[in-house]
Amino acid sequence: MQVKIRPARNKDIPFLGWVMFTAARSHLAESPWSVIFHEPQARTRILLERMSQIPALPWSHVSKFWIAEVDGVPAAAMCGFAPVIEGSPILAEFELGVAKQEFNYSEERLAGVFDRLTIATLGFPEDLPDTWGIENVAVLPKFRGKGLLDYLFRHTLEEGRKKGFKRAQIMCLIGNEPGQQAFERNGYKVFSQKTNPTFNELFGTPGAKLLVQDL
């Protein structure tokens, strides 16, 4: 198996839409993005693909992703960025704009999406200052168990070091035990967690953990 780590390119955008959808879904029955937009998977992924083209959304922009190729095939990806410096992980005005542009949502429907985006912020701990952030981590099913996340973590954490960061963070939904184990295997430790009953009611998980490591 030949593994190559490379920056994402525009041709990878459909794959990145799958990555963002799958990473958010985590261990849940339904991806939170589908819940937020009240859309099926295919239409939700169209919205996420569009978000990957908006520079003001650093957590999803194509330029922030690294891809693990196996024998020339994109197999896994993760995003590395500076959450506090480059912006909040949820910037509702851009996400609402994508929904309106792509699917011509009514003002009433946009208001519902905004309410659910607001609830989504209630279950995540605050980003730490001066910290390199990892987001949107996913591996295609047929390539799981081959250590691709380990390759990506080594590379993406090194990118953070080169930018001068001394620590890195990643979020994990409570209950995503395989994800947490993979993050801990790559040096992370639980720093804090946040729960919220309204978040739990909407998404089916109490909240999220913030994991941190020194670089």
Question: CA nearest 24: which of 47, 53, 1, 56?
Answer: 47
Look-up of token digits 């912006």: 87
For residue range 105-115, list pLDDT tens digits in order: 999 999 999 99
What's the pTM?
Answer: 0.94
pLDDT tens-digit series, residues 180-191: 999 999 999 999
Q: Which residues pair with 68 in a beta bridge?
A: 5, 76
Q: What are phi and psi of 13, to 5 degrees?
A: -55, -45
Model confidence band, residue 92 (pLDDT cutoffs 50, 70, 90): confident
Q: Dump pLDDT digits (tens) for 26-84.
A: 999 999 999 999 999 999 999 999 999 999 888 999 999 999 999 999 999 999 999 87
At residue 170 the predicted structure's pLDDT band, cuts being 50, 70 and 90, is: very high
State pLDDT tens for residues 144-166: 999 999 999 999 999 999 999 99
* Continuous segment of H or E residues that includes residue 214: strand 207-214
Q: Which domains are assigned to the chain? A: 3-214 (3.40.630.30)
The whole-number pLDDT of residue 84 equals 72
Q: Is 18 exposed, middle or buried (0-12, 13-18, 19+ CB in 10 A)?
A: middle
